[in-house]
Amino acid sequence: MQVRVYQIDPDRDQNRIRYESLNDLPKYQGSSKVDESLYDRVLRADVDCESLEQLYTLLNTKGHPLHHGGQMKVSDVVVTDQGAFYCDRFGFAKIEFDESKAQIPADCMRVLYVEPGKIPYETEIPNTLDGEQQAVQGLIDLVYLDRGGILVCNDEGKLIGMDGNRVLDNGTIIAGPFFIAGDAGENFCSLTDDQVGHFMQRFMEPEDISQEDVQADTGFIFYAF
């Protein structure tokens, strides 16, 4: 399920409506109104959930590598292909929500995220070491690509048994999730539209890579006793 999760930025919440139920929000033209300008997008991802309730449980227990907000609570907004939904005291209520009025945190960069068995998708992650390590679920390793792109993956993905993801042109297997960012010299930066289109096409097709293939590409031989 493709989801986008929004949370109220406490610094912009002058009226302190964060964590308020939908019915307790200020009224606008006879109905409850959600002020989109108070919200930051804290997750844009393809999640393995079939319902909003499952998403709530996921974010409040296991978490998600791309989630850079707090636990899901009352006043959060989730947008899916079925519309926008307000996390209320009991369940989710469908609302009108103009995503263009919400914000993306200033420290985030636009990347392409690639997971094993899935097609790539655009998202944002914090341009910090913590955010980058969280996205790949461990220490990072870099592979420099064409068009000014950098593939950032888990440095120990093969050794810790992550699933095979994609095979590079030189035959190297990347295990575990990875993201592609722009090259800004000593730092990463957001991808351009051209880069997103190019790398989306390059990594579009999920690949069937066995664990035996992944282990063979580590350069080590594993023995069972």
130 and 161: one domain?
yes
115 and 212: one domain?
yes
Tell whether 225 is covered by a domain.
no
Burial degree of 214 (CB within 10 A; 0-12, 13-18, 19+)? buried
Whole-prediction pTM: 0.90
Calculate what percentage of the chain has a pLDDT beyond 90: 86
113 and 97: one domain?
no
191 and 207: one domain?
yes
Tell whether 203 is covered by a domain.
yes
Tell whether 148 is covered by a domain.
yes
Tell whether 222 is covered by a domain.
no
Contact between 212 and 220 under an 8 Å Cβ cutoff? The reply is no
Domain ends where: 54, 71, 101?
101
Structure tokens at 189: 């930066």
Rounded CA separation 166/175 (Å): 7
Residues 6+ apart with CB under 8 A from 37: 12, 101, 102, 103
Range of the domain at 35: 2-101
What is the total count of domains within the chain?
A: 2
Q: What is the pLDDT of residues 114-141, one digit of tens each?
A: 999 999 999 999 999 999 999 999 999 9
Rounded CA separation 213/47 (Å): 26
Q: What is the pLDDT of residues 10-65, one digit of tens each?
A: 999 988 889 999 988 876 544 568 999 999 999 999 999 999 999 999 999 999 99
